[in-house]
Amino acid sequence: MTARRRLVAGVDSSTQSTKVEVRDLETGAVVARGRSSHPATTPPRSEQDPQVWWAAFEDAWRQVGAPIVEAISVAGQQHGMVALDAGLEVIRPAKLWNDTESAPDAGWLVRQLDGRAAGWAAAVGSVPVAAFTATKLSWLHRSEPDHWRRLAHVLLPHDWLTLRLSGNCVTDRGDASGTGYWSPTTGDYRWDVLSIIDAALDWPAVVPRIAAPDEVVGEWRGARVACGTGDNMAAALGLALRAGEAVVSLGTSGVAYTVADHPTADSTGAVAGFADASGRFLPLVCTLNATKVTDAIARLLAVDHAELDRLVLDGPPGARGMTLLPYLDGERTPDLPEATGVVAGMRSDVSREQLARAATEGVVCSLLDALDALARHAPVSSVVLTGGGARSTAYRQVFAELCDLPLTVADADEAVAAGACVQAAVVADGVSFDTVTDR
């Protein structure tokens, strides 16, 4: 009689979709993948009903055959605010990381803690911007007092899905480090920061418990449920990221990050001093605008991605002096939530190739700025490209032309889901993260 194959599942719940990846626990081989889309959102108001995440998960789970797995882990989009009442019912649609309505609250919060950004960096490793959960809580307190009075629990998107699986309100150190009220240095919530938002609220009862990276937090259909983590933390696991390697993720937004053995604090706010999912740290720079910029240009030019690539590759390096500042939907780094895109150097003889090239170079230069900021806080000796944009020949070539570090393209098709599978494997077998990633 053939022994049943041992399987684990990793869930990637992003802004755009929920993906499920099932892997063989012994070999790491992908057994099945499923994907179901979420409703589209556009800043400044970017919100989704968490119920659509669960519906998407159930759909993706059916696509992979609803297998019997030994463990499951959820990686989710960072920072979002899921507000629950005392009965664990969702009070209002979740504000997502790219919602910028709380930009005024970010500025107000910075002024409340010693009156300077450096105080925030020292307290929680990062300076609040509109993406952070702390600013969204401040917005809720200021803008929707009726909803605020009902607030009994606040979760991150991955926490909410983990709650649906396990029945428990828990989070992990990686995703907690992106809230703006948990310290990677001390490993504790900063009650003084939360009291700035509302000094009367019983915050220890509102925020979720921080689970250990390898902790089993519940059971779902006989499978052990891991604590889960944020999407960038999971991607670092999925790519088996090592010190000195920096990841540049070319998705709808752009991200640059690396792992470090020590916490970081950047008073300029460019680098977020996050924790990772395994016990180390993950300094990170995030931009709002990456492939969405070239998607917009492709739409204007009425071409598909393959034709846009051809136009970029046929275009002259430097786009004959034409530049495109890619802050189409406001920007997180630098902190310019009200910004828009700017085209400069356009002449009457502009070509389609120039425009395509300028857009691509604008995105790449923005991410090279992110790498420069990252390197001021952690050593960076090589770069790994990942994300949907890394599949583009044009993006790969332009990045290679403009980056002076060794460059590779990740072989992980879905690094976030793969990282969630790593975390599931850790709790399934009770082994270390290095044991799983070295397999």
Q: Are residues 223 and 254 in the same domain?
A: no
- Same domain for 404 and 424, yes or no, is no
Rounded mean pLDDT of 246-250? Answer: 95
> Is residue 257 pLDDT above 90, yes or no?
yes
Question: Do 312 and 406 lie in a common domain?
Answer: yes
Q: Is 145 in the same domain as 177?
A: yes
- Place 335 in a pLDDT band, splitting at 50, 70 and 90: confident
- 3-state SS, residue 286: strand
Within-domain flag for 116: yes
Q: Do the Cβ atoms of 247 and 239 come closer than 8 Å?
A: yes
Q: How many CB atoms sit inside 10 A of residue 1's CB? A: 3
Residue 421 included in any domain: yes
Question: According to the model, what pLDDT value does residue 412 have?
Answer: 61
Per residue in 83-128, pLDDT (tens digit) is 999 999 999 999 999 999 999 999 999 999 877 788 999 999 999 9
Residue 2 domain flag: no
Q: What is the pLDDT of residues 338-379, one digit of tens each?
A: 899 999 999 999 999 999 999 999 999 999 999 999 999 999
348 lies in the same domain as 219: no
29 pLDDT higher than 70:
yes
Catalytic, 49? Answer no
| pLDDT above 80 (res 413) | no
Looking at the fold, whether 111 and 203 belong to one and the same domain comes out as yes
**Quick one: pLDDT at residue 102?**
96
pLDDT score, position 115: 72
Residue numbers of the domain that contains 333:
241-411
Give the pLDDT mean for 236-246: 93
Asked if 35 contacts 63 with a C-beta cutoff of 8 angstroms, the reply is: yes
CATH number at residue 308: 3.30.420.40
Residue 301 lies in a domain: yes
Residue 331 CB contacts under 8 Å (≥ 6 apart), including other chains: 287, 288, 289, 337, 339
| 131 lies in the same domain as 226 | yes
Q: Which is nearest to 21 in space by CA: 193, 215, 235, 211?
A: 235
Q: Do 51 and 141 fall into the same domain?
A: yes
Q: Which of 352, 340, 348 is nearest to 298 (CA)?
A: 352
**Claim to verify: residue 375 and residue 340 sit in the same structural domain:** yes
Is residue 1, in this structure, part of any structural domain at all?
Answer: no
Cβ pair 271, 284 in contact under 8 A: yes
Give yes or no for residue 42 having a pLDDT over 90: no
Q: In angstroms, rounded to a whole number, what is the distance separating the alpha carbons of residues 71 and 7? A: 8
64 and 178 in a single domain? The answer is yes
The pLDDT of residue 2 is above 60: no
Q: Are residues 137 and 195 in the same domain?
A: yes
CA–CA gap between residue 173 and residue 71 (Å, rounded):
20
Q: Which of 105, 175, 231, 335 is catalytic?
A: 231
Number of domains composing the chain = 2
pLDDT of 337 reads 87
So what's the pLDDT on residue 3?
Answer: 66
Do 255 and 403 fall within a single domain? Answer: yes
Say if residue 396's pLDDT is above 80: yes
With a cut of 50, say whether residue 1 has pLDDT above it: no
pLDDT in tens, 159-176: 999 999 999 999 999 999
